[in-house]
Structure 1
Amino acid sequence: MSLGHATLAEADHWIQTLAPAPVLACTHLVREPFPHVAISLLTAHTFATAPDLEPAVAAAATGQFGRAVRFPGVERLTGALTVSEILQRSSIARVEVLGSGPATPDTIVETGDFVRPQFRDGELILITTPAAGGTLVPFETRNPTPCCTDH
């Protein structure tokens, strides 16, 4: 579906207002008919898309990538957790270190209470980056630096 959200934050906020919460909700950056954020939902509810935004729905549906905002276990991913705990508490299938491959099960991930895994080929994959003290942090942060907010 597409409501024409201009930013990921706007789409995230809209998703968080849904009651009941969807089982899975992903955002997709689309270019048709103009650059914006489309949304895919796994829910019993239906949502209408304006006819002029239907190309965005088609683009999101054919894409192989999404950014998960809601997914099973997301509410249990707070604070510092080991990779193993993240995999046990949620539907995330893998935790990867950007450019380095899979993270080891005992590595600590400082979640910052904000986890947005990628939905790729039917799996949720949390991409992380190294942080101080041998820990990891999710690649996407709640408040990205200004140089990255438009990417």
Structure 2
Amino acid sequence: MTSSVAPAASAAGAARIVGVSFGHATLAEADHWIGGLSPAPVLACTHLVATPFPHVAISLLTVTAVATAPDLRPAADAAAAGQTGRAVRFPGVERLTGELTVSEILQRSSISRVEVLGSGPADPDTLVDTCDFVRPQFRGGELVLVTTPAAGGRLVPFERRDPTPCCAGH
């Protein structure tokens, strides 16, 4: 899965949303591809798409254009038009390491809200163990970090780098 990155055709080099699809089978594959982009996009989100087959497409807020194979163009277009996604790259992501309060997360990054799964907004003073892996959801123009309760009254991001497979012990 290779990509072709070329200068954007925009006049002033303004960042714009572009969609791309290379048929990545997993989120990890798409994350790895995003991590290799230079220059890094301002925002990069993954999107699960069904056409022409189930895979992960990507939307980027960038000044570069990315070529997509014609048969995957519908998936790339769907990613670019998507109102929801999973943010991999976003302003401040590099400052979200270790344990931080909800308030610090909001101050250090472009995340707009931190929620506790099934419970609503998280208290600003609650500690979040980021596990150095933060993947907020992009919803209707804002980034929302979904968390779950953890030991010691802390929170952890809902999405983990190495999740335990469902029914792993069965």
Bin for the TM-score computed over the shorter chain: over 0.9
Partner Cα separation in structure 1 for residue 39 and residue 96 of structure 2 = 20
Give me the TM-score of the superposition, normalised by structure 2: 0.85
Partner Cα separation in structure 1 for residue 50 and residue 157 of structure 2 = 26
Equivalent in the alignment of 1:13: 32
Equivalent in the alignment of 1:37: 56
4+ aligned runs moved over 3 Å, structure 1:
none
> Per residue, is there more strand in 1 or in 2?
2
How far off its partner does 1:19 sit?
1.1
Partner Cα separation in structure 2 for residue 132 and residue 13 of structure 1 = 30
Equivalent in the alignment of 2:44: 25
- Does structure 2 retain, via aligned residues, the 8 Å contact 1:130–1:137? yes
Which one has the largest radius of gyration? Answer: 2
Please, which runs of 5 or more residues in structure 2 have no aligned partner? 1-19
Task: Note if 1:71 corresponds to 2:105.
Answer: no
> Root-mean-square deviation (CA), in Å?
1.1
Equivalent in the alignment of 2:3: none
> Per residue, is there more helix in 1 or in 2?
1
- Does structure 1 retain, via aligned residues, the 8 Å contact 2:60–2:80? no
2:142 to 95, 106, 123: 123
Partner Cα separation in structure 1 for residue 111 and residue 47 of structure 2 = 18
SS in 2 for 1:143: coil
How high is the sequence identity, in percent, across the aligned residues?
81
Equivalent in the alignment of 2:6: none
Letter in 1 for 2:128: V
Letter in 2 for 1:85: E
SS in 2 for 1:47: strand
How far off its partner does 1:61 sit?
3.2
Equivalent in the alignment of 2:22: 3
Equivalent in the alignment of 2:117: 98
How far off its partner does 1:146 sit?
1.9
Partner Cα separation in structure 2 for residue 76 and residue 124 of structure 1 = 15
Please, which runs of 5 or more residues in structure 1 have no aligned partner? none
Equivalent pairs, count: 148
Partner Cα separation in structure 1 for residue 52 and residue 164 of structure 2 = 28
SS in 1 for 2:63: coil
Partner Cα separation in structure 2 for residue 102 and residue 26 of structure 1 = 23
How far off its partner does 1:57 sit?
1.7
Task: Note if 1:86 corresponds to 2:105.
Answer: yes
Give me the TM-score of the superposition, normalised by structure 1: 0.95
Equivalent in the alignment of 1:142: 161
